A and B are shown apart, each in its own frame.
Chain A
């Protein structure tokens, strides 16, 4: 079983719709959780950290469920510019980040 698993998609969503991604992780010792955004042929960029209480940044909401070991990302009122690959990531302590394969999102006009 992969340490971090995501549905690769693609998700084809009309502009203005709400879309949600889930991600599961296998190591219960994971301590930090993130969503990264990666545009085609570009480097990953941190979208948001994910906290136990859930957190929101504008149209983006992230949730963590430690008991079920999954992380979610919700995008409301999606824009064409949201089209990208979204990478789920977990970190143990101060060390490396383990990434999922990413979920591709296409926002359709």
Chain B
């Protein structure tokens, strides 16, 4: 079956612009996670959704970052006033429930010039 998909695969933007990154989880998975991975680092947790609600957003670095999952399926990560330090691969993962294995999508590579 289809895995987690993320669009776009690559995004190049200019400092100060707004970007949206999309995640389509595996069908039926109730838990959805966003991570950010910088070069030479492991994935860093950003936010976790259980259904439509954000159960834990403690990893969002500041108020420029926001994520939604309005219907409990697709999620969008939104970054306002992008900075060069936001450049990274943004990974989405989903799991059947919070106790199950997380499956990762291929990521969106964000480059802020």
Residues of A at the B interface (CB closer than 8 Å) are: 4, 8, 42-46, 87, 89, 94-102
Nearest CB of B to A63, in Å: 20
Q: CB distance A95 to B55 under 8 Å?
A: yes
For B106, the chain A residues whose CB sits under 8 A away are 42-43
Interface assignment of B85: CB less than 8 Å from any CB of chain A: no
Question: Do B107 and A100 have beta carbons less than 8 Å apart?
Answer: no
With A43-B91, A100-B42, A101-B41 already in contact, the answer to whether A95 and B56 are too (CB < 8 A) is yes
Q: Provide the bound-state CA to CA distance between A43 and B108, in Å.
A: 10
Which 6 A-B residue pairs are closest in the complex by CB-CB distance?
A: A99-B42, A94-B98, A96-B45, A43-B104, A99-B43, A101-B42
Q: Is the interface of A mostly helix, strand, loop or mixed?
A: loop
Report the nearest A residue to B6, measured CB to CB. A43
Complex CA–CA separation, A50 to B91 (angstroms): 23
Expressed in whole angstroms, the Cα–Cα distance for A102 and B42 within the complex equals: 6
Q: Min CB distance, A37 to chain B, in Å?
A: 11
A35 smallest CB distance to B (angstroms): 12
Contact of B44 among A42, A43, A94, A99 (CB under 8 A): A99
For B99, the chain A residues whose CB sits under 8 A away are 94
A95 touches B98 (CB 8 A): yes
Separation of A31 and B41 alpha carbons in the complex (Å): 23
User: Does B105 sit within 8 A of A, measured CB to CB?
Assistant: yes
The winner among A42, A45, A99 for most chain B CB atoms within 10 A is A99
Which single member of A44, A45, A95 contacts B43 (CB below 8 Å)?
A44
Listed residue (A4, A96, A98, A99) with the most chain B CB atoms within 10 angstroms of its CB = A96
Chain A CB within 10 A, most for which of B41, B42, B97:
B42
A102 to B37 CA separation, bound complex (whole angstroms) = 11
